[in-house]
């Protein structure tokens, strides 16, 4: 697992230290253990899961600001990408939103076992106009394997700070989704569209970045 991470990360523009590889491996072993009790990821071979999930989660790291900020991971599930990004950027405050209680229990357990200070879990389902959520907004909002852009953008837009960025993990059909979502009606505009392929699997992936106008 650590060798896959070390060899695969540079294909995504990310360099990992040995200590970071060990931390990510510790997290993923915990994820695999819980996956036997509640479905957090699929049943593919472990090597494939590492590439599909851990390495894919690394894609936005080159876009992270140097200074620490606040990150919101919508529909965090097994912590992909929220916990992965927290492990690699421990200086960031991370909020993981997960509506399903069993998955939220895993997230809380992972935070405790890995000692991830500055990470919290909220068990709720986001709404387009969340009256209960107040504050300065988030510098980064992530969503991976959650829903289409037409459903995601109304959830994410109210959570962004004035200069915040939404990082939406998508597949090859991202352009069709964006056309249907009409981000401009929500005051959002796409500032970047990163196409990449997962190392060793050659799966095509897209990372769309949106900001407020």
Q: Which residues contact 30 (CB under 8 A, 6 or more apart)?
A: 109, 110, 113, 114
Residue 23 CA to residue 27 CA, distance in Å, equals: 6
| Residue 91: both structure tokens together | 């200086």
185-195 pLDDT per residue, tens: 999 999 999 99
Residue 143 CA to residue 156 CA, distance in Å, equals: 9
Tokens 């990163």 found at: 194
CA dihedral 24, 26, 28, 32 (to 10 degrees): 180
Q: Which residues contact 106 (CB under 8 A, 6 or more apart)?
A: 31, 34, 38, 40, 78, 79
Strand arrangement of the beta sheet that strand 138-143 belongs to: 119-122, 93-97, 70-74, 138-143, 160-170, 204-212, 188-197
Convert 37-67 to b/e letters by CB count within 10 Å (16 or more is b): eeebbeeeeeeebbbbbbbbbbbbbeebeee
Q: Which residues contact 13 (CB under 8 A, 6 or more apart)?
A: 61, 62
Q: What is the DSSP letter of 183?
A: G
- Selection from 49, 74, 56 nearest residue 171 by Cα: 56
27-62 pLDDT per residue, tens: 999 999 999 999 999 888 999 999 999 999 999 999
Determine the average pLDDT of the residues in 76-103.
Answer: 97
pLDDT the model gives residue 175:
87
Residue 159 CA to residue 91 CA, distance in Å, equals: 20
8-28 pLDDT per residue, tens: 999 999 999 999 999 999 999
Determine the average pLDDT of the residues in 183-206.
Answer: 94
- Selection from 98, 95, 80 nearest residue 30 by Cα: 80
Determine the average pLDDT of the residues in 120-132.
Answer: 82
CATH number at residue 163: 3.40.50.150
**How many domains does one find in the chain?**
1
**pTM value?**
0.94
Which of the pair, 122 or 175, is modelled with greater confidence? 122
What is the rounded radius of gyration, in angstroms, for the C-alpha atoms of the chain? 16
Domain that holds residue 69: 2-212
């Amino acid at each position: 697992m650590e060798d896959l991470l070390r060899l695969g990360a540079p294909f995504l523009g990310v360099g990992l230290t040995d200590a970071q590889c060990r931390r990510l491996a510790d997290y993923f072993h915990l994820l695999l253990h819980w996956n036997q009790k509640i479905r957090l990821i699929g049943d593919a071979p472990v090597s494939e899961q590492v590439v599909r999930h851990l390495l894919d989660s690394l894609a936005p790291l080159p876009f992270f600001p140097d200074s620490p900020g606040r990150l919101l991971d919508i529909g965090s599930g097994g912590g992909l990408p929220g916990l992965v990004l927290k492990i690699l950027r421990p200086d960031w405050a991370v909020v993981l939103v997960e509506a399903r209680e069993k998955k939220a229990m895993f997230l809380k357990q992972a935070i405790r076992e890995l000692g991830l200070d500055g990470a919290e879990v909220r068990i709720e389902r986001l709404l387009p106009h969340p009256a209960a959520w107040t504050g300065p907004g988030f510098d980064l909002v992530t969503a991976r394997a959650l829903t289409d852009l037409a459903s995601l953008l109304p959830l994410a837009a109210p959570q962004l700070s004035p200069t915040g960025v939404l990082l939406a993990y998508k597949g090859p059909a991202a352009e069709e989704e964006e056309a249907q979502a009409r981000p401009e009606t929500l005051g959002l505009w796409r500032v970047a569209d990163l196409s990449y392929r997962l190392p060793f699997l050659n799966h095509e992936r897209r990372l769309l970045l949106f900001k407020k106008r």
